[in-house]
Amino acid sequence: MIPAKFDYAAPATVEEALGLLAEHGDEAKVIAGGQSLLPVLRMRLNAPELVVDLGRIESLRGIRVDGDTVTIGAMTPYHEILADETVRERCTLLHQAITEVADPQIRHRGTLGGALVHADPAGDCGAPVLAMDAELVVTGPGGERVVPAAEFFEGLFTTAVGEDELLTAIRVPAYDGWGSHYEKFVRIAHQWPIVAVAAQVRTEGGSIAEARIGLTNMGATPLRASAVEAGLVGAATTQEAVRAACDRAAEGTDPPSDLNGDADYRRHLATVLTRRAVLAAVGG
Ligand SMILES: Cc1cc2nc3c(=O)[nH]c(=O)nc-3n(C[C@H](O)[C@H](O)[C@H](O)COP(=O)(O)OP(=O)(O)OC[C@H]3O[C@@H](n4cnc5c(N)ncnc54)[C@H](O)[C@@H]3O)c2cc1C
């Protein structure tokens, strides 16, 4: 289908973009890579009067390292993040998850910021961002505020970013010395995850000292598997010990039922995939 008619603006600065959002209110819609917004417009699920393209705002793009924090501009496309050595080495879980997003064409256009604001519960980037305790920098008429990942995802396709605000950057802590793995379950290649698990684990000797586990598509938002995280601390890095802790992966979740599987199937998948992800993260 063809989208409804809209005006188009391509501001050069964040301030200009914010000015347009303030002026047009909920009649304006921001576009980043367009990989989620364009299908929405074509299906006429949304018909904004003005589309504000962030593609010319250079300050929103790129990757910077400040000590132990890697700052990724919201408009940085997936393929640039994948090519970045620092992200691969120090924010490995995010790198691993992005390798699983869609296909190379979509990864060329789609942006990390667009994916996070779109907040599809099946999106691959939410769970690692949550498990890594990243911070989201949101800029609006009142200036900049920093939202912890745990407070960013508010509901189905809903985040802490207001209609007059922009997500401008994602600050990801470096996890030097941690093991990580993103385990995604799909029926066919390049599919959205039926369930996926983002696991990040630090070991000391033969046991687990810290664990951070994020779940994809196990509720309306990405979730932390807190019971598993608690159960893994102090556990040996053996199949049996990891399995016992990961059996609790579905606790506190509310997975959907759809043509790919019902809620019970997803709960089962969560336990299996969490075990696989943790064992891969500890090198077991
Ligand atoms: C065929 C296909 C398969 C896909 N498969 C997967 C998959 O397997 N896994 C996966 O995770 N994703 C998948 N995607 C989605 C892809 O990751 C999108 O790129 C992503 O969801 C949106 O990023 P974008 O930059 O294209 O954002 P856009 O589509 O441009 O925008 C998405 C939404 O975010 C808002 N927005 C964008 N940037 C900002 C900002 N900086 N501040 C405030 N609001 C903003 C827009 O207004 C819009 O509402 C797939 C997409 C397609 C088309």
Residue 79 CB coordination number (10 Å): 17
Hey, what amino acid is at 128? P
Query: Residue 234: which of 191, 202, 200, 272 has the closest Cα?
Result: 202
Q: What is the pLDDT of residue 273?
A: 98
Q: How many residues can be counted in the chain?
A: 284
Q: By three-state DSSP, how is residue 162 classified?
A: coil
Closest residue by Cα to atom 33, ligand 1, is 118
Cβ-based neighbours of 266, under 8 Å, separated by 6 or more? 194, 195, 217, 218, 250, 255, 256, 257
CA of 114 to the centre of ligand 1 (A): 5
Do residues 235 and 151 make contact, with C-beta atoms less than 8 angstroms apart? no
The model's pTM: 0.97
CA triple 163-164-166, angle to 5 deg: 90
Q: Is the CB of 166 under 6 A from ligand 1?
A: yes
**Would you state the structure tokens that stand for residue 260, as one six-digit string?**
């790919």
Half-sphere exposure of 27 (CA within 13 A, CB side): 10
Q: Is the CB of 41 under 6 A from ligand 1?
A: no
Per-residue pLDDT 10s for the chain (284 aa) are: 899 999 999 999 999 999 999 999 999 999 999 999 999 999 999 999 999 999 999 999 999 999 999 999 999 999 999 999 999 999 999 999 999 999 999 999 999 999 999 999 999 999 999 999 999 999 999 999 999 999 999 999 999 999 999 999 999 999 999 999 999 999 998 899 999 999 999 999 989 999 999 999 999 999 999 999 999 999 999 999 999 999 999 999 999 999 999 999 999 999 999 999 999 999 96
> Ligand 1 atom closest to Cα of 167?
42
> Ligand 1 atom closest to Cα of 35?
26
DSSP 8-state class, residue 4? P
CA of 272 to the centre of ligand 1 (A): 28
Q: Is the CB of 267 under 6 A from ligand 1?
A: no
> Ligand 1 atom closest to Cα of 38?
29
Q: What is the pLDDT of residue 1?
A: 81
* From 30, 43, 72, mutation site for ligand 1 pocket: most ligand atoms within 8 A of C-beta: 30
Separation of alpha carbons 172 and 186, rounded Å:
27
CA of 161 to the centre of ligand 1 (A): 15
Separation of alpha carbons 276 and 274, rounded Å:
5
CA of 210 to the centre of ligand 1 (A): 31
DSSP state letters, 182-229: EEEE-SSTTPPPSEEEEEEEEEETTEEEEEEEEEESSSSS-EE-HHHH
**Would you state the structure tokens that stand for residue 68, as one six-digit string?**
């132990």
The CA-atom distances, in angstroms, between 107 and each of 114, 209, 257 are 12, 34, 28
